[in-house]
Structure 1
Amino acid sequence: MADTSQKRNAPWPLRLAIVFLSLLLTLFFIWLLSFLLNDIGDMPGPDYNAIQKHHVPQEKLDESSDLATQLDGVEKRIKRQQEIQGTLQQSMRNAETALTKIADLQRLSIEGGGKPSEVDRQAMENARSRFYTAQDEYESANETITTLNDERHQLKQSIASIDAELRQFKNKSQAEYNDARRSHDLKIASLKLAFVVPLLLLAAWLVKKKRGSIYQPFNWAALVATFWMVWLVMWDHFPRDFFKYVAILAAIGILGAFLTWAIRSSARPRKATLLKRHREAYQNHRCPACDFPILRGAFQQAVWTKRGPKLHGEAPSQTESSRYTCPSCGEALFDQCGDCGEVTQTLLPYCSACGRES
């Protein structure tokens, strides 16, 4: 009776659908793992403000803030005095223009034989008074700006001194924060790896243990997804100089595993692989053990070339023997079936006549 448990090749549309669904399942596994790892990565880290408060004296911060407020007030007062100077300059220009015009009128009046009127003299006096007043106020604004500039210079020096002290405190705070941040990142990476590496090992164990199972695509999808997430975690959290060594070691490990598998498959092939080789050898009329031509029946007098046997004339009429052994390696290739007595291939699992399992 035939073994119905032997895996049959599915039609290619179904195989294509299985491959597509396996890739889709892998993407969903990666998506799920990324959500879980992101939740682990959302754990609160070190608080820079708390570390800064521990190292930076509050009175220094208050003093720096007060000095900055005073400097801002001085800057505004200087700007206001400069605006006043602009207004006074315009007033002086207007008074100077009025003085020039009045002087011209008086000159014309004197040249005509007259003398300046009382109104002209009063206008001249008013213009001169406005000019001198604006000039005095402009000079006063200059003195105020000079005083404010001195005050601004002193404030800037005080701020620079305070900033130098604060910079030292903040450097200590930043150094402690960087150390705490590195420790936190290492903790997050360890938790992520502690979560995903066991899943990777479990998936690898299932792929190896359930070899030949019809549900193997599930195991491969889990293996690829977990391997990808382990790679991403290491890429995100480990230094690049360290990561290159990990990547090289991982590549060596993967290539070594495939090379070991290839060597073992060549030296000790699996039952399905061995059966496939035997089938192909019998179909090509070659010994499955040493590839020597099977000189039996119609092929006993054939000429063997690279393209296969070439028959010359008619096949021999003598009856084939019940047993045939390869003359090159001594492997028994044909023998009588124990049930029906018909001649069948000894290296294939079933009798070609009755179907009995050998």
Structure 2
Amino acid sequence: MQTIAKENERRGTWWQRVLIGAFSVLLTLLIYWLLGFVLRDIGRLPGPDWNEFETARIDPELRTAGKEIETSITEVKRQIDNVQRRQKLLRDSTASSQKTLNQLLELLRISIERQADLPEEQQQALSESQQLFLKNQKQDQEYNESLSALQEQLADLQEQQRLHRQRLDTALKPVREEFSQLQRKHDWRLAAIKIGVLTPLLILGGFLFAKYRNGNYVAMICALDLALLAKVFLVMHEYFPADYFKYVLILSSLVVIGFLLARLLKMVAEPSRDARLKQSREAYESFFCPVCQFPIRRGPLKFMSWSTRSLRKRSQPIANVADEPYTCPACATALFEKCDSCGAIRYGLLPACEHCGASKEV
């Protein structure tokens, strides 16, 4: 009797159970973050450096040639931009000079029609405008020739750059493959270190859970195990190839689901004492046999038919009903029997007598 009271007392009040659940979740997160900090520091271990690796294996002259070509291309593009900018200014000036020249030619045409001579100032302006227009045309032609030469030079440099990149890619291909192998080895080394850190902790967590799963601190052990399992799966997902990880994930899921299913089947086939007591309590409350679920028809319920809900809806206190032993007619289980201590009728599948408190093993 004292054992049952202690077990019920261990459950605590509802707000204590809520706090235990909340703090268990918080503890899981804190352990998960702590493991994340440790694994992140492990991930900072230095690995192969691409710049140093490439510099040691690529001909410096090949790199220098590429930089010289890029510098030449940049310079030619700058010259093209300058020539185009000057040509634009020149063409704007030429357009203005052409407009002035057209106006002077119109004045000359009118003077010829009137058989008169242009004033000397206008004749001089016409001559200067013609000379300026011709000079601008000549300068524009020179700009076109310069642009043509620069464009050809740029095309030649770009072709050199394309060929150089092909040679560089050809030279870099084996270097990239070698560096990829080194990086893969480094990743495997990091994965081995991380798994090496997590595996002993996971084994310790499994040992603690197996030994103390019915103890007072099982919530703390579960928090540790959940955080460790989550981190192990994340490390495997990060470093293991996807083709392998899917098999690991499926096999792990099969193991977990198989274990849970086996536990459930064992609980049904060989229920624990607490499970049997809970099943008996619920069945007695609903007036069903805890073993076979046959209705307990005794006293005023002898000629009634009911379900769990209907009986609870219409149940009323019953007085002056004689208690007597009762055996389930379906499975021959003694559901109500005389107490060995006080002789009163007690529940046969519950540990304590409701009259005298005497207990028995069930």
Query: Do these two structures clear the TM 0.5 threshold for a shared fold by scoring above it?
Result: yes
Cα 1:49–1:294 shift into 2, 3 Å: same
SS in 1 for 2:7: coil
CA deviation after TM superposition for structure 1 residue 23, in Å: 1.9
Provide the identity percentage: 28
Give the alignment partner of residue 191 of structure 1, picking from 184, 190, 193: 193
CA contact (8 A) 2:342 2:356 kept: no
Rg (Cα) greater in structure = 1
CA deviation after TM superposition for structure 1 residue 143, in Å: 2.0
2:62 alignment counterpart: 60
CA contact (8 A) 1:106 1:116 kept: yes
2:310 alignment counterpart: none
CA deviation after TM superposition for structure 1 residue 27, in Å: 1.9
Q: Deviations over 1:264-303 (max 9, x none)?
A: 33344434445656777889999988889999xx98xx95
Mapped partners of 1:127, 1:3: distance in 2: 121
CA deviation after TM superposition for structure 1 residue 102, in Å: 3.0
Q: Is 1:181 equivalent to 2:183 in the alignment? A: yes
Q: Which amino acid aligns with 1:15?
A: R
Give the alignment partner of residue 98 of structure 2, picking from 96, 99, 103: 96
Cα 1:11–1:110 shift into 2, 3 Å: closer
Q: Which amino acid aligns with 2:102?
A: T
CA deviation after TM superposition for structure 1 residue 50, in Å: 1.8
CA contact (8 A) 2:42 2:190 kept: yes
Counterparts of residues 221-260 of structure 1 (less than 5 Å)? 221-260=223-262
Mapped partners of 1:283, 1:98: distance in 2: 115
Q: Deviations over 1:4-63 (max 9, x none)?
A: 884224222222222222222222222222222222222233212122213322211111
Q: Which amino acid aligns with 1:234?
A: M
CA deviation after TM superposition for structure 1 residue 162, in Å: 0.7
CA deviation after TM superposition for structure 1 residue 177, in Å: 3.1
CA contact (8 A) 2:62 2:168 kept: yes
Cα 1:305–1:6 shift into 2, 3 Å: farther
Q: Which amino acid aligns with 1:13?
A: W
2:314 alignment counterpart: none
Mapped partners of 1:110, 1:315: distance in 2: 148
Counterparts of residues 40-55 of structure 1 (less than 5 Å)? 40-55=42-57
Structure 2, unaligned runs of 5 or more: 308-317
SS in 2 for 1:160: helix
CA contact (8 A) 2:202 2:225 kept: yes
2:7 alignment counterpart: 7
1:19 alignment counterpart: 21
1:130 alignment counterpart: 132
CA deviation after TM superposition for structure 1 residue 253, in Å: 0.7
Cα 1:214–1:132 shift into 2, 3 Å: same
Q: Which amino acid aligns with 2:203?
A: L
2:31 alignment counterpart: 29
CA deviation after TM superposition for structure 1 residue 216, in Å: 1.4
CA contact (8 A) 2:212 2:218 kept: yes
CA deviation after TM superposition for structure 1 residue 150, in Å: 2.1
CA contact (8 A) 1:91 1:131 kept: no
Q: Which amino acid aligns with 1:158?
A: Q
2:160 alignment counterpart: 158
CA deviation after TM superposition for structure 1 residue 66, in Å: 0.9
SS in 2 for 1:7: helix
Give the alignment partner of residue 219 of structure 1, picking from 218, 221, 230: 221
1:80 alignment counterpart: 82
Q: Which amino acid aligns with 1:60?
A: L
Cα 1:130–1:244 shift into 2, 3 Å: same
Mapped partners of 1:241, 1:166: distance in 2: 33
1:39 alignment counterpart: 41
Cα 1:103–1:21 shift into 2, 3 Å: closer
Cα 1:131–1:249 shift into 2, 3 Å: same
CA contact (8 A) 1:289 1:329 kept: no
Cα 1:236–1:304 shift into 2, 3 Å: farther
CA deviation after TM superposition for structure 1 residue 315, in Å: 5.1
Structure 1, unaligned runs of 5 or more: none
CA contact (8 A) 1:350 1:357 kept: yes
